[in-house]
Amino acid sequence: MKTSQYFLPVLKDAPSEASTASHRWMLQSGMIQSTVSGIYTWLPLGLRVLKKIKTIIRQEQNAIGAIEMLAPTLQPATLWQESGRYDDYGLEMLRVNDRHKRLLVYGPTAEEVFVDVVRRCIQSYKAFPLNLYNIQWKFRDEVRPRFGVMRGREFLMKDGYSFDLTPQASKETYCKVFRSYMRAFYRMGLSVIPLRANTGPIGGDFSHEFHVVAKTGESALYYDSVLENRTPPRFEISDFEEVYAMVDEKHLPEQCRVPAEQLKIARGIEVGHIFHFGDKYSSSMNAQVSSKNGEVVNLQMGSYGIGVSRLVGAIIEAFHDEAGPQWPLSISPFSLGIIHIQENLESKAEDLYCKVKDLGIETLWEDRPLSPGEKFALMDMLGLPFQAILSEKNQKNSQIEVKVRKTGERYCFSLDKFLEWLHLNCSEQISLPETIKT
Amino acid sequence: MKTSQYFLPVLKDAPSEASTASHRWMLQSGMIQSTVSGIYTWLPLGLRVLKKIKTIIRQEQNAIGAIEMLAPTLQPATLWQESGRYDDYGLEMLRVNDRHKRLLVYGPTAEEVFVDVVRRCIQSYKAFPLNLYNIQWKFRDEVRPRFGVMRGREFLMKDGYSFDLTPQASKETYCKVFRSYMRAFYRMGLSVIPLRANTGPIGGDFSHEFHVVAKTGESALYYDSVLENRTPPRFEISDFEEVYAMVDEKHLPEQCRVPAEQLKIARGIEVGHIFHFGDKYSSSMNAQVSSKNGEVVNLQMGSYGIGVSRLVGAIIEAFHDEAGPQWPLSISPFSLGIIHIQENLESKAEDLYCKVKDLGIETLWEDRPLSPGEKFALMDMLGLPFQAILSEKNQKNSQIEVKVRKTGERYCFSLDKFLEWLHLNCSEQISLPETIKT
């Protein structure tokens, strides 16, 4: 993509409403624009990141046999009355009367809709287990939206719902989803801590939250510091079972047996939350099936959420410096940025741009007549993992300069060597241990 | 995909609420489920079709330089008051007060939001032309939702907005989008007629509707029958300019110079609508820019919509028989269905399933123990372009039977020949004339 043909409305200065790094950089680097309090328009650059996160989540969900579908954003209030949750969400749930005065809600989550879908189709126990998910916009009418997409009102969520015949099978599904979440976060370059959590209005018997550790996190985390010494990647729930890791409300100092000097207290950003709640919804909403031996049983359920739009902010909180975000390759809007310092290098830059595109590498070429300083600052603010810099000085030696955004490392290569290096570094996505590849 | 591991809740009988073929088959073949009047949940099979349509549209939009972004579903009412359209939509526009009593609307379209995005970023005329689009859920509170997704309330729309510096440039953009629409519909296997149309509440100076001709269409179309004799594909607006083609409201018998015997009157399903409206929104909403010679000009705009979810229904209306839909390959949920008649052929079927998957061809294997009659009926109802049928009779001769869903043709092949035939037929997507490939 050439910036002259792109829509990249960056801001010169940090916007005054931004109180966190991610909020600032998402506004300033032209990823989002605030449409009204807590509701954002995703500009082209931001949408690219959002889509890449969706793709990773989708791949990991499909890999464990979860099946994608799509619930509507608006749901009938009657379903919420039936489950008994209509009042639980209070003012956070956006309620609206349609023209016939039928009450709809903008889904803050979709347990009821998924239970309704499944119960209307049940013919035999043979259809189970079922693990269904969707990635859809949700709404929670926060009293004070803040931190940009981190605590917005309209937000994109991956929410999944599992239906099993027995509590044991249901817990195994929960463990599978746990693993798929850890894998997905890992592929986004994130080091995420799973902690035991309360179930809140979703209900249920156990629950984990997934947190990115960041100073600007809204939640307090309490965990055994051995967690930090473990060799990543550890994806199985069993890897964490014996280790103390609690969110704020769940941490009871009098019950915590971790020695004080070993207890880590940190701030975290919640990016995922999973619940196992057995038959809470299937009993109230009559989602039953005759088992193999003829007994009528309530379906055993879990529900599983990832804050997709929030992750964009969380990743910036985890990876940025004073010049802008530092995108991990797997979710970066583009892999490479190209700038040419002198205007007479335009055709050289165009040639490089075409060659890199031919390799299938997503590239953004700053082809507008900006000053060198503006180009350098823009590229750092965009945060693409690699920058190729063409200057007269290096061209004399037929060299291309490369800058690695995260480390600041610089290399000089001939064109051929550069293409080889780039190809290697861009195809080398974070590799997962062979044994658990799916 | 194996059906035993899929979520494919088909219905035995035609649902009583379905009054059109597409509504019937979408419900019966497990593509959608009605959540509440005019609001649907997209089940896995339906979502696959929806996504393929999105992909084709996206590719054709990107090919003309349009840039994807994403507006929120909820918009501030203030923007609509500013453009003067707040009252135009009447009861069709869903209005909701948030917890602070600020009025939001669920976007039925997004002219205002896109104008707002662009006017807040304008720094120079050099940023133009701009052609932006998004694919997002919209809501129109139809008084009587009907025909399934064809006239639903929550629906998926691709809507795009172009911003040019001069009326001439804006009209050229309009023509480009016209062409991209014709290409997209063509790639979906559709023969679509573009007709001159009124602009309605969107406003503007000229407009085209794109219609699929179908007996169940809600609109009356009047066009010169020479249109039907033209060799497809014709993608340019100039190919249609001289030919009479009007939607109902635009057809004035006294002004129509087409001889009566040559005038075709048909029913159509509107799948796209484009508008050129100059500065209607840019003047009311102050989207101005200083041109090269210092003059302040209003941006010239067009807006362009495709009914993405409606297209799923329209394609079924165009392609079905009494047994179910007949999906064009490019948007079919799977390319091949596999059934084995006798249970002892299960391992043979699995072997075939794996081999076809290895070719990268999307395949659905009915691996559940249904009767042969049930399997045949299910496959026809799913409407996948090709079926592979394994039976003891053919296995004796080491043959696989193939059925082409649309024509009913049947062939027998050896395994190797079958894979070769399938590969050829599945990679042979509808080809576009070389000259206008992008």
- Cα first-last separation, chain A: 33
> Measured between beta carbons, which residues in chain A are less than 8 angstroms from residue B70?
41-42, 47, 50
Q: Is A72 on the interface with B (CB under 8 A)?
A: yes
- CB-side exposure of A70: number of CA atoms within 13 Å? 24
Does one domain contain both A285 and A348? no
Residue B133 in domain: yes
- A103-106, strands of its sheet edge to edge: A74-76, A103-106, A94-97
Task: Tell me if residue B103 falls in helix, strand or coil.
Answer: strand
Pick the last residue of a domain from B321, B345, B372.
B321
Does one domain contain both B122 and B167? yes
The residues pairing with A7 across neighbouring beta strands, listed in sequence order, are none
Q: Is A50 on the interface with B (CB under 8 A)?
A: yes
Q: Is B44 on the interface with A (CB under 8 A)?
A: yes
The residues pairing with A154 across neighbouring beta strands, listed in sequence order, are A139
pLDDT of A119-177, one tens digit each? 999 889 999 999 999 999 999 999 999 999 999 999 999 999 999 999 999 999 999 99
Does one domain contain both A312 and A348? no
Amino acid at A416: D
> Nearest Cβ partner of B33 from A4, A91, A120?
A120
Q: Compute the distance between CA of residue B405 and CA of residue B387 in angstroms, rounded to an integer.
A: 7
Q: Compute the distance between CA of residue A256 and CA of residue A248 in angstroms, rounded to an integer.
A: 12
Residue A433's pLDDT band, with cuts at 50, 70 and 90, is very low
Q: Is A17 on the interface with B (CB under 8 A)?
A: no
* Whether residue A233 has a cis bond before it, omega within 30° of 0: yes
Q: Compute the distance between CA of residue B403 and CA of residue B381 in angstroms, rounded to an integer.
A: 14
Does one domain contain both A193 and A61? yes
Q: Compute the distance between CA of residue B349 and CA of residue B411 in angstroms, rounded to an integer.
A: 17
DSSP code at position A277: E
Q: Is B112 on the interface with A (CB under 8 A)?
A: no
Residues A193, A211 contacting (CB under 8 angstroms): yes
Residues written for chain B: 438
A117, containing H or E segment: helix A111-119
Segments forming the whole domain that contains residue B62: 9-321
> Nearest Cβ partner of B154 from A39, A73, A95?
A73
Given an 8 Å threshold on Cβ–Cβ distance, is A47 in contact with B68?
yes
Tokens standing for residue A317: 């909180």
Q: Compute the distance between CA of residue A138 and CA of residue A70 in angstroms, rounded to an integer.
A: 12
Residue A406 in domain: yes
Does one domain contain both A290 and A396? no
Residues B413, B400 contacting (CB under 8 angstroms): yes
Pick the last residue of a domain from B263, B292, B321.
B321
Given an 8 Å threshold on Cβ–Cβ distance, is B70 in contact with A42?
yes
> Measured between beta carbons, which residues in chain B are less than 8 angstroms from residue A76?
35-36, 39
CATH code of the domain covering residue A57: 3.30.930.10
Q: Compute the distance between CA of residue B31 and CA of residue A284 in angstroms, rounded to an integer.
A: 27
Q: Is B102 on the interface with A (CB under 8 A)?
A: yes
Residue A198's pLDDT band, with cuts at 50, 70 and 90, is confident
Tokens standing for residue B241: 């300019």
Residue A129 has a CB neighbour count (10 Å cut-off) of 18
pLDDT of A63-113, one tens digit each? 999 999 999 999 999 999 999 999 988 999 999 999 999 999 999 999 999
> Nearest Cβ partner of B7 from A9, A130, A141?
A130
The yes-or-no verdict on residue A434 having pLDDT over 50 is no
Residue B104 in domain: yes
Burial B133-146 (b: 16+ CB within 10 A, else e): bbbbbbbbbbeebb
Amino acid at A370: L
Does one domain contain both A226 and A356? no
Residue A438 in domain: no
Does one domain contain both A71 and A16? yes
Kindly list the distances between the CA atom of residue A174 and the CA atoms of A161, A185, B8, B64, in Å, as whole numbers in the listed order.
10, 17, 23, 45
pLDDT means per 10 residues, chain B with 438 residues, are 97 94 98 98 98 96 97 98 93 96 97 97 92 98 94 97 96 96 95 84 78 91 89 81 90 92 95 94 94 93 98 97 97 97 96 95 96 98 98 94 97 96 80 41
Residue B107 in domain: yes
Pick the last residue of a domain from A321, A344, A374.
A321
CATH code of the domain covering residue B381: 3.40.50.800
Does one domain contain both A378 and A423? yes
The residues pairing with B222 across neighbouring beta strands, listed in sequence order, are B246, B265
Residue A436 in domain: no
Domain count, chain B: 2
Residue of A14, A20, A5, A47 lying closest to A269 (CA atoms): A20
Does one domain contain both B299 and B384? no
Residue B205 in domain: yes
Residue of A318, A301, A305 lying closest to A383 (CA atoms): A318
Given an 8 Å threshold on Cβ–Cβ distance, is B70 in contact with A91?
no
Q: Is A62 on the interface with B (CB under 8 A)?
A: no
Amino acid at A284: S
pLDDT of A281-336, one tens digit each? 999 999 999 989 999 999 999 999 999 999 999 999 999 999 999 999 999 999 99
Q: Note which residues in 359-378 of chain A have CB less than 8 A from chain B.
A: 368
Does one domain contain both B193 and B216? yes
